[in-house]
């Protein structure tokens, strides 16, 4: 930890206006081996993003100088680096908007440091996998080969309907990341079905029935209530 | 008028015809038959013509008979007594027939009018019984009256700025003095032609209620038909006025009910804020200040325990905040809820994931049917289920698992929580929830880790989803509290 190689040290840009939370984030991120870059406003954040090229953005949505959504749009237009949004639990609409605009993930406040670090790890790993063009998903008993499209559970090939298969592939391509209802409906059913959430609920239910040991306590197919779904990445 | 004139001409032509026939064929017909022919024409005249023209016809007929048929002919003189008697008899008979027919016609017309009025009153009564909104009722009743009477009447309301507006803005603009409308409203008396007040006014204004009120006023344009209808209109307006009062009273009662509901939520919210927030905050403050100022005196295990306490109380606060925010949303006038198809399995899984972390002493067992969709607000639904589980955890005894079920019965999706507790107290019913669900009296100890918000909130959430909250005794002890959703069809 004292002398990490320069490549493995990730600098993370944290945009947060509350001093207490900024302090807590700085301490815990540094303790976890990252280099936190702190910004209080969107303007500062944009400057740091350009100057320091951080590996990832952690953005609090309720900033005083404007709208985090526009920052997400601006940064997403320039790079693929992960964006994690911090927001109040009640504001589903905000979160869905951010995710639809290209944020990778969200964390509802209040959160524990363990949750935060897990999300950061997942996001950074996905970034690396994307760079390595890794086409395999393997978590516990579930194995998905994105290149040849094979899904195995406990080593046995799973038989899925075409819709279930497309749905699972979408989630696997973005493993660990929340896919909003709209994103999934658009990718699997098409743009004209983005409001037909009942299709999604039914087919996710069938997927859970085939994949999960206990569908009421899912291990792989995680429901983000009111927002979307994610395929657990670890 | 033109029809009456044509009728008179027709009768005159008939008279001429009969005269020609009687005159030409007098030898065959004789006096008696000829007079009968004339009488037949008089009968027709009485049926077709108003009273005075009909009587006029009788006189014309008598003169014609005298001139053409009674000797000496072609003079107005009468030769003998028998001819006088025949002529007088005819005239008398013609007059009697005319007046009798006239009376019969009047009676028929009156019966017809009474029937039409009764029919209108019946239709209006039927209509009023079906209305549930005062303004809509006034609009549709005015339309009904307009249709039946053919009069272009309108319902007028005096606005706050002193100007008049019609309840149906589509009608032609009408010029009425607002002061006259105000007078009618303030006195509850009709005004205008055909009424006791200001009969020389241009048009009539009739009040809905025969007493001072804020109710709108009926405007009736001047016409003879209007004055014919006036008495009946006033009695029909009485019916409408009663319905108006009834609907307004109902609306007020509903508003009061909503207000009481909001106040109940508000009270629950306040007691919840003061109790459910302060208790964990006290624990956090205590534990953290102990760690700050007395850490030296504590061993590592004790410090760890205090840290754990801070964390678990903070988690509890987080949940309590959710619940309280949910309550605030419930209390909002617009109730910003988002209804969407939710999967019962996902709702149960979401709530259980939270509870399994927190509740370690009781096993939570889920039995969820597949493909059960409910049209609901996801956050409110999880809140309702969480409250049901909190409630059950307070009651639950023994080592048996707490059962959370979702299933479909009789086409309705049900979410149920079944405990093995003492059951609900005798006399408890869903309707008495408000009374039983106010456990946060000052000085009362919180039992278990419920949020103290209880079933009252669940009931409010159920109400927003047109769902029913059912409480039943469970076979083998305990109770089952379930949310029963209305039958819903998932679109294909």
Residue for token pair 């959703």: B485
| Judgement on whether residues B33 and B157 belong to the same structural domain of the protein | no
Subunit contact A225:B311, Cβ cutoff 8 A: no
Q: Is residue B323 a contact partner of residue B272, using CB atoms and an 8 Å limit? A: yes
What secondary structure does DSSP assign to B198-225, as a single string? -TTSSSEEEESSSSS-S--EEEE---HH
pLDDT computed for residue B179 by the predictor: 87
CA dist B279 and B411 (Å) reads 43
Q: Which of B226, B255, B284 is the last residue of a domain?
A: B255
* Domain match, B87 and B155 both: no
> Residue B29 CB: number of other CB atoms within 10 A?
17
Rounded to whole angstroms, how far apart are CA atoms B311 and B284?
8
% residues pLDDT > 90 (chain B): 20
**A209–B370 CB contact, under 8 Å:** yes
Segment among A116-120, B254-258, B481-485 with least mean pLDDT: B254-258
Rounded to a whole number of angstroms, the distance from the CA of B297 to the nearest CA of chain A is 26
Domain holding B341: CATH number? 3.30.565.10
Q: Do B204 and B342 share a domain, yes or no?
A: no
- Tell me the two tokens of residue B48: 């077709």
Residue B298: pLDDT above 50?
yes
Same domain, B412 and B455: yes
Chain B: which residues have CB within 8 Å of chain A? Answer: 311, 314, 318, 322, 325, 338, 340-343, 345-350, 352-353, 356, 366, 368, 370-371, 373, 378-379, 382, 490-491
Among B327, B349, B370, B403, the strongest candidate for a mutation testing the A interface, having the largest count of A CBs within 10 A, is B349
pLDDT digits (tens, 9 = 90+) for B154-163: 888 888 888 8
Over residues A69-78, the mean pLDDT reads: 88
Lowest model confidence (mean pLDDT) among A65-79, A127-141, A145-159, B194-208:
A127-141
The mean per-residue pLDDT over the stretch B408-420 comes to 92
A198–B352 CB contact, under 8 Å:
no
pLDDT value at residue B272: 65
Distance CA A16, CA A36 (A): 12
Distance CA B35, CA B61 (A): 10
pLDDT given for residue B425 in this prediction: 67
The answer to whether A106 and A99 are in contact (CB under 8 A) is yes
**To the nearest whole angstrom, how far is the Cα of B304 from the nearest Cα of chain A?**
16
Instruction: Answer whether B345 sits within 8 Å of A196, measured CB to CB.
Output: no
Rounded to whole angstroms, how far apart are CA atoms B411 and B485? Answer: 9
Closest CA to A155 of A172, A146, A143: A143
Average pLDDT over residues B71-77: 84
CB atoms within 10 A of CB A74: 13
Tokens representing A110 are 């209040």
Which residue of B lies nearest to A216 if distances are taken between CA atoms? B349
B221, B255, B289: which is the final residue of a domain? B255
In tens, the pLDDT along A23-64 reads 989 999 999 999 999 999 888 999 999 999 999 999 988 776
B146 and B239 in one domain? yes
Chain B nearest-CA distance from A198, in A, is: 6
Domain boundaries along the sequence of chain A: 11-131, 135-231
Q: How confident is the model at residue B403 (pLDDT cuts 50, 70, 90)?
A: very high
Residue B287 lies in a domain: no
Residues in contact with A100: Cβ distance below 8 Å, sequence separation at least 6, in sequence order: A180, A182, A183
Q: How far apart are CA A147 and CA B64, in angstroms?
A: 119
H or E element that contains B318: helix B300-331
B381 contact residues in A (CB cutoff 8 A): none
Q: What residue in A sits closest to B345 (Cα-Cα)?
A: A216
The residue of chain B nearest to residue A225, with distances taken between CA atoms, is B378
CA atoms within 13 A on the CB side of B151: 22
Answer for the pair B359, B319: CB distance below 8 angstroms, yes or no: no
Give the model confidence (pLDDT) of B360-376 as tens digits: 788 999 999 988 999 99
- B472 and B363 within one domain: yes
Contact B349 A112 (CB under 8 A): no
pLDDT at residue B139 greater than cutoff 80: yes
Do residue B346 and residue A225 have CB atoms under 8 angstroms apart? yes
- Band (B318; pLDDT cuts 50, 70, 90): confident
In whole angstroms, what is the distance from residue A82 CA to residue A105 CA?
8
Determine whether the interchain pair B370/A205 forms a contact, defined as Cβ–Cβ distance below 8 Å. yes
Confidence band (pLDDT; 50, 70, 90) for B170?
Answer: low
Q: For position A163, what pLDDT does the model report?
A: 92
Cα–Cα distance list, B463 to A232, B168, B339, B384, B468 (Å)? 36, 35, 13, 11, 7
Spatial distance between the Cα atoms of B447 and B394, rounded to a whole number of angstroms: 7
**Cα B427 to Cα B143: distance, rounded to the nearest angstrom:** 51
Q: CATH classification of A11-131, choosing from 3.10.129.10, 3.65.10.10, 3.40.710.10, 3.40.50.2300?
A: 3.40.50.2300
Residue-wise burial string across B152-181, b where 16 or more C-beta atoms lie within 10 A, e elsewhere:
ebbbbbbeeeeebebbeeeeeeeebeeebb
CB-defined contacts A:B, below 8 A: 65
Task: Say if A226 is an interface residue toward chain B (CB within 8 Å).
Answer: yes
Does the pLDDT of residue B454 top 50, yes or no?
A: yes
Q: Which residue has the higher pLDDT, B297 or A167?
A: A167
Lowest mean pLDDT among B1-5, B68-72, B212-216: B1-5
Number of structural domains chain B divides into? 3
Neighboring chain B residues of A206 at a CB cutoff of 8 Å:
370-371
pLDDT surpasses 90 at B343: yes
In terms of residues, how long is chain A?
A: 234
The confidence score (pLDDT) of residue B225 equals 75
Residue with more model confidence, B185 or B3: B185
Q: How far apart are CA B128 and CA A76, in angstroms?
A: 62
B454 vs B195, residue with greater confidence:
B195
Are the C-beta atoms of residues A232 and A139 closer than 8 Å to each other? yes
Q: Inspect the interface and report whether the beta carbons of B368 and A198 lie closer than 8 Å.
A: no
Q: Are A123 and A84 in contact (CB under 8 A)?
A: yes
Question: H-type helices in B131-223, by residue range?
Answer: 134-149, 178-187
Same domain as B139, residue B109: no
Q: What is the per-residue pLDDT for B450?
A: 41
- Average pLDDT for chain B: 83
Q: What is the pLDDT of residue B328?
A: 74
Q: Can you give the pLDDT at residue B107?
A: 93
- Identify whether the C-beta of residue B155 lies closer than 8 Å to the C-beta of residue B231: no
Q: Are B261 and B434 in contact (CB under 8 A)?
A: no
pTM, two decimals, is 0.59
Lowest mean pLDDT among A121-135, B101-115, B346-360: A121-135
Domain of B85 in residue numbering reads as: 2-115
SS3 assignment, position B202: coil
Together in a domain, B153 and B107: no
Report how far residue B272's alpha carbon sits from residue B322's, in angstroms, rounded to the nearest whole number. Answer: 12
- Residue-averaged pLDDT of chain A: 87
Chain B residues whose CB is inside 8 A of the A218 CB are 349
To which H or E segment does residue B51 belong? Answer: helix B51-68
Token pair for residue B360? 């370690």
In this structure, are residues A89 and A108 in contact, taking their beta carbons and an 8 Å threshold? yes
- Put simply, the answer to whether A202 touches B371 (Cβ < 8 Å) is yes
Using a pLDDT cut of 90, give the percent of chain A over it.
44
- CATH code, A135-231: 1.10.10.10
Tell me, what's the pLDDT at B260?
A: 78
Residue B199 within a domain? yes
Instruction: Find, in chain A, the residue whose alpha carbon is nearest to that of B352.
Output: A217
pLDDT in tens, B4-35: 788 889 999 999 999 999 989 988 988 889 98
Task: Report the pLDDT averaged over residues B107-124.
Answer: 90
Residues B417/B384, Cβ–Cβ less than 8 Å: no
pLDDT digits (tens, 9 = 90+) for A197-208: 999 999 999 999
pLDDT in the model for residue B192: 87
Tokens 């819903």 sit on residue: B488
> Which residues partner with B418 through β-bridges?
B403, B480
Q: Could you tell me the pLDDT band of residue B445, with boundaries at 50, 70 and 90?
A: very low
Regarding whether B350 and B480 lie in a shared domain, the answer is yes
């Amino acid at each position: 930890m004292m002398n990490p190689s320069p490549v493995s040290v990730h600098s993370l840009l944290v945009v947060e206006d509350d001093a207490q939370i900024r302090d807590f984030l700085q301490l815990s991120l540094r303790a976890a081996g990252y280099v936190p870059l702190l910004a209080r406003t969107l303007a500062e954040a944009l400057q740091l993003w350009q100057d320091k090229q951080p590996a990832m953005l952690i953005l609090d949505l309720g900033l005083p100088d404007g709208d985090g959504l526009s920052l997400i749009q601006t940064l997403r237009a320039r790079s693929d680096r992960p964006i994690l949004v911090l927001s109040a639990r009640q504001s589903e609409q905000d979160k869905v908007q951010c995710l639809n605009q290209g944020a990778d993930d969200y964390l509802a406040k209040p959160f524990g440091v363990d949750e935060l670090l897990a999300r950061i790890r997942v996001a950074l790993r996905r970034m690396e996998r994307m760079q390595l063009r890794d086409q395999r998903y393997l978590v516990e008993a579930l194995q998905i080969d994105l290149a040849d499209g094979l899904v195995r559970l406990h080593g046995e090939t799973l038989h899925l309907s075409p819709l279930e298969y497309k749905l699972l592939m979408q989630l696997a391509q973005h493993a660990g990341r929340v896919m909003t209802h709209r994103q999934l409906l658009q990718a699997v059913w098409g743009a004209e079905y983005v409001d037909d959430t009942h299709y999604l609920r039914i087919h996710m239910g069938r997927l859970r029935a085939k994949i999960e040991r206990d569908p009421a306590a899912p291990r792989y197919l995680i429901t983000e209530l009111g927002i979307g779904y994610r395929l657990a990445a670890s | 008028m033109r029809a009456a004139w044509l009728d008179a001409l027709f009768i005159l032509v008939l008279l001429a015809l009969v005269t020609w026939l009687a005159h030409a064929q007098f030898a065959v017909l004789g006096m008696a038959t000829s007079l009968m022919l004339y009488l037949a024409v008089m009968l027709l005249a009485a049926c077709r013509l108003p009273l005075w023209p009909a009587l006029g016809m009788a006189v014309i007929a008598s003169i014609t008979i005298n001139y053409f048929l009674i000797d000496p002919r072609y003079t107005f003189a009468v030769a003998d007594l028998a001819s006088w008697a025949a002529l007088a008899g005819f005239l008398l008979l013609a007059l009697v027939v005319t007046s009798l027919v006239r009376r019969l016609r009047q009676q028929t017309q009156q019966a017809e009018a009474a029937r039409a009025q009764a029919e209108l009153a019946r239709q209006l009564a039927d209509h009023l019984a079906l209305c549930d909104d005062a303004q809509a009722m006034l609009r549709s009743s005015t339309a009904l009256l307009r249709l039946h009477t053919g009069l272009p009447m309108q319902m007028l309301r005096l606005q706050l700025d002193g100007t008049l507006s019609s309840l149906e803005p589509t009608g032609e603009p009408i010029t009425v003095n607002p002061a006259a409308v105000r007078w009618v409203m303030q006195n509850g008396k009709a005004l205008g032609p055909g009424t006791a007040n200001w009969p020389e006014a241009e048009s009539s204004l009739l009040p809905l209620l025969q007493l001072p009120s804020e109710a709108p006023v009926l405007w009736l344009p001047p016409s003879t038909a209007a004055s014919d209808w006036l008495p009946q209109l006033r009695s029909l307006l009485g019916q409408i006025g009663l319905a108006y009062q009834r609907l307004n009273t109902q609306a007020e009662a509903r508003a009061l009910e909503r207000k009481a509901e909001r106040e109940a939520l508000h009270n629950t919210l306040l007691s919840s804020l003061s109790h459910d927030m302060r208790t964990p905050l006290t624990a956090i403050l205590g534990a953290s200040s102990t760690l700050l100022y007395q850490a030296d005196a504590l061993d590592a295990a004790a410090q760890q325990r205090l840290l754990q306490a801070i964390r678990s109380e903070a988690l509890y606060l987080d949940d309590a905040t959710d619940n309280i925010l949910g309550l605030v949303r419930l209390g909002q006038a617009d109730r910003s809820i988002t209804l969407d198809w939710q999967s019962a399995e996902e709702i149960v899984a979401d709530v259980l994931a939270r509870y399994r972390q927190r509740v370690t002493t009781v096993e939570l067992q889920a039995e969820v049917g597949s493909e059960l969709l409910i049209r609901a607000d996801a956050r409110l639904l999880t809140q309702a289920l969480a409250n049901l589980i909190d409630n059950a955890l307070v009651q639950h005894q023994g080592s048996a698992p707490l059962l959370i079920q979702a299933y479909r019965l009789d086409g309705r999706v049900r979410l149920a929580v079944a405990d093995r507790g003492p059951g609900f107290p005798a006399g408890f019913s869903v309707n008495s929830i408000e009374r039983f669900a106010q456990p946060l009296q000052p000085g009362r100890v919180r039992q278990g880790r419920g949020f103290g918000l209880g079933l009252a909130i669940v009931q409010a959430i159920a109400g927003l989803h047109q769902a029913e909250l059912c409480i039943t005794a469970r076979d083998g002890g305990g109770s089952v509290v379930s949310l029963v959703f209305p039958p819903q069809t998932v679109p294909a």
